[in-house]
Amino acid sequence: MLTEINFDGLIGPSHNYAGLSLGNLASARNAGETAFPRAAALQGLAKMQANLALGLPQGLLLPHDRPDDAWLASLATDNATAEPRLRAAAWSASAMWAANAATVSPAPDTADGRCHLSVANLVTMPHRSHEWPQTLRQLRVAFADETQFMVHGPVPPPFGDEGAANHMRLCPKHGEAGLEIFVYGESSGPFPARQHRQASEAISRRHGLDPARTLFVRQSDEAIAAGAFHNDVVAVANETVLFAHEQAFADRERAHEQIMSRAPWAQIIEVPAQAVSLADAIRSYLFNAQLVSLPNGDGMALVLPTEARNTPRVWNWLETMIAGNGPIRRLIPVDVRQSMANGGGPACLRLRVVCDPASVDPRFLLDGDKIDRLSALVDIFWPEAIHPDDLTSTTFMTQIRTARAELLAALDLAELG
Ligand code: SUG
C-alpha cells in the first residue's frame, strides 16, 4: 500500500542565526540574532503532532553531529581557530530543512519499480555543502530495503542540487505514475541559482524516469531576485494540484502548456501577482505550505506558516479560494517561527516519500507517544538560547553533543553516532 510519508527534520540543538545564506532574505535579516533551539525543536515537533492528528503518517530525520569537526579538519582548521564564518558553517543546524535532503522518485515513476532517492549535494552554500554524508548515512538506514528503495549518492559538483525543494510531482493519486517536474535556475541577478539543470537531468536519468513524464522548467529570475532561493518558496504540488505564484516560472505560458499536455487531469491554481506580490508571497511563505490530501476523501489542506495568516492580502486571497469549490478545502496555520527566521517554512522542514510504510525502518517513523517522548527529551537537553558568539564555547559544544547522543539512544539509533 503506497502512502505519502512526510519525514520532518528535527531541529537540532545548534540552531542559530549566522546569516549564512545569500539570497535567503530571512537568513540575512536575522543574522546575529539570538536563536532559541529548544523552542524551535518543540515548534517542529508540534507541527508533526498536528499533522499526525490529521491522519497523516509522519517520519523523522535526525539532526547532524555539530560542529562538523571532520569538515573543519578537511579545511586544515578546527573550531577554536577557524574564522567565524567557517566556524558558523560547521555549527549550522541546516539539515533540519529536510526538503533539501534528497530528491525522491516514487516507485510508480521509475523504470525498475523501486523508489529512488538521490541525496542533494547542496554545493552552492558552504554551510550546506557538508550535509550530504550524514544525510546519506541516515537515508541508507531508513530506506535499507533494497527490494523497495535505491538510495543514490550526490550528483558531483559543480552541478548544484538542492533536492526536493526544486522538484514537484503531479499524479492522479500518490500511488500511481505521475509527472515529475524539476525546476532549475539560471540567474544572472544578485543571488545565486542553486539548482542547476544538469543536476536535475542527471537525477532523472539515474532514477530511470520516463522522459514522457518528466519536465524541466526554468525558475524565473525575478523570483530568485525577490528571494525565492528554492522553487518551493513560490510553488507546491500535491496529487492533481499545482499551487503556484504567477511569477514562479521563467516562461509561464509554456510551463503551463507543457504541464497540462502531459497531465491533462491536473489543475493549476495560480495566485496572480496583482493579488499577492512576489514580495508578499516570499515574506509570508504562503507557498511554502504542506499541500496534503486529507484521509477519507476530505479534499486537500494547506498547512501554512502563521506568517501567511498575518499578511492580510495573502490571507484574504486564501480565504476567497477556500470559499470557492476548489480542491483545497482547509487552511491550517502552524507556528514554526524559529525556522522561518532562517527562511524555512513548513514545507522546507519535510521530505515527502511515497512508499509502503512497512518497508521503512520503523525507528524513523513516529506516533503520538514517540513525539511526546521526543518533546520531553528536547525540553531537557536542547539549549534554550544560542547567539553566534557562543559558537566558540566548549560548554555549548558538549551540551549539543550530549543532546544528540541522548536522542540517538532514545531512538535506538546509536549506530548513527
Ligand atoms: O538553505 N537557511 C536555509 C533554508 C532552507 C529552506 N528550505 C527550503 N526552501 N526547502 C537555506 O537557505 C540559513 C542558515 C543561516 O543563515 O544560519 C539557511 O541555511
Order of strands, edge to edge, in the sheet holding 214-218?
167-170, 179-184, 214-218
Eight-state DSSP code of residue 156? P
Q: What is the pLDDT of residue 173?
A: 97
Q: Tell me what the mean pLDDT of segment 55-76 comes to.
A: 98
**CB-based contact 333:304 (threshold 8 Å):** yes
Q: What is the pLDDT of residue 105?
A: 98
Report how far ligand 1's centroid is from the alpha carbon of 21 (Å). Answer: 6
- Which residue, among 185, 238, 190, has the nearest Cα to 216 in the 3D structure? 185
Q: pLDDT at residue 71 above 90?
A: yes
Report how far ligand 1's centroid is from the alpha carbon of 409 (Å). Answer: 28
> pLDDT tens digits for 147-164?
999 999 999 999 999 999
374 pLDDT band, cuts 50/70/90, is very high
Ligand 1 and 184: CB distance under 6 A: no
Ligand 1 and 194: CB distance under 6 A: no
Ligand 1 and 20: CB distance under 6 A: yes
Euclidean distance between CA atoms 264 and 141, whole angstroms: 38
Positive or negative: CA dihedral 127, 193, 22, 242: negative
Ligand 1 and 165: CB distance under 6 A: yes
**CB-based contact 165:128 (threshold 8 Å):** no
Q: Are strands 167-170 and 179-184 parallel, antiparallel or unpaired?
A: antiparallel
- Which residue, among 75, 204, 188, has the nearest Cα to 129 in the 3D structure? 75
Cell digits of residue 403: 543532546
Positive or negative: CA dihedral 108, 112, 117, 121: negative
Q: What is the pLDDT of residue 188?
A: 81
Q: What is the pLDDT of residue 184?
A: 98
Q: What is the pLDDT of residue 365?
A: 98
Q: pLDDT at residue 187 above 90?
A: no
- C-alpha atoms less than 13 angstroms from C-alpha of 173 in its C-beta half-sphere: 7
Euclidean distance between CA atoms 145 and 131, whole angstroms: 23
Residues designated as active site: 162, 230, 348
Which run of H or E residues covers position 364? Answer: none
- Which residue, among 351, 239, 223, has the nearest Cα to 287 in the 3D structure? 223
Q: Indicate the average pLDDT of the chain.
A: 97
User: What phi and psi, each to the nearest 5 degrees, are found at residue 146?
Assistant: -75, -10
Non-local (6+) Cβ contacts of 252 within 8 A are 220, 246
User: Which atom in ligand 1 lies closest to the alpha carbon of residue 92?
Assistant: 17
User: In the chain, what percentage of residues exceed pLDDT 70?
Assistant: 100
Ligand 1 and 348: CB distance under 6 A: yes
Q: For the chain, how long is the longest CA-to-CA vector?
A: 60
Q: pLDDT at residue 214 above 90?
A: yes
Ligand 1 and 341: CB distance under 6 A: no
Q: Hey, how many other C-beta atoms are within 10 angstroms of the C-beta on 264?
A: 7
Beta bridge partners of residue 59, listed in sequence order:
7, 365
Report how far ligand 1's centroid is from the alpha carbon of 94 (Å). Answer: 6
Report how far ligand 1's centroid is from the alpha carbon of 194 (Å). Answer: 12
Domain that holds residue 89: 3-416
**CB-based contact 377:411 (threshold 8 Å):** no
Residue type, 117: L
18 pLDDT band, cuts 50/70/90, is very high
Report how far ligand 1's centroid is from the alpha carbon of 30 (Å). Answer: 12
Q: What is the pLDDT of residue 296?
A: 87
> pLDDT tens digits for 166-177?
999 999 999 999
Domains in the chain, number? 1
> pLDDT tens digits for 239-290?
999 999 999 999 999 999 999 999 999 999 999 999 999 999 999 999 999 9
Which run of H or E residues covers position 283? Answer: helix 278-284
User: Which atom in ligand 1 lies closest to the alpha carbon of residue 18?
Assistant: 17
- Which CATH number is 218's domain given? 3.75.10.20
> pLDDT tens digits for 83-133?
999 999 999 999 999 999 999 999 999 999 999 999 999 999 999 999 999
Peptide bond into 327 cis (omega under 30): no
Residue type, 316: N
Q: pLDDT at residue 221 above 90?
A: yes
Report how far ligand 1's centroid is from the alpha carbon of 344 (Å). Answer: 6
Cell digits of residue 59: 517520519
Ligand 1 and 339: CB distance under 6 A: no
Euclidean distance between CA atoms 271 and 381, whole angstroms: 42
Q: What is the pLDDT of residue 88?
A: 98
Q: What is the pLDDT of residue 281?
A: 97
Residues in the chain: 417
Order of strands, edge to edge, in the sheet holding 58-61?
350-355, 3-9, 58-61, 365-366
User: Which atom in ligand 1 lies closest to the alpha carbon of residue 344?
Assistant: 6
Q: Are strands 149-152 and 167-170 parallel, antiparallel or unpaired?
A: unpaired
Ligand 1 and 391: CB distance under 6 A: no
Residue nearest to atom 8 of ligand 1 (CA): 348
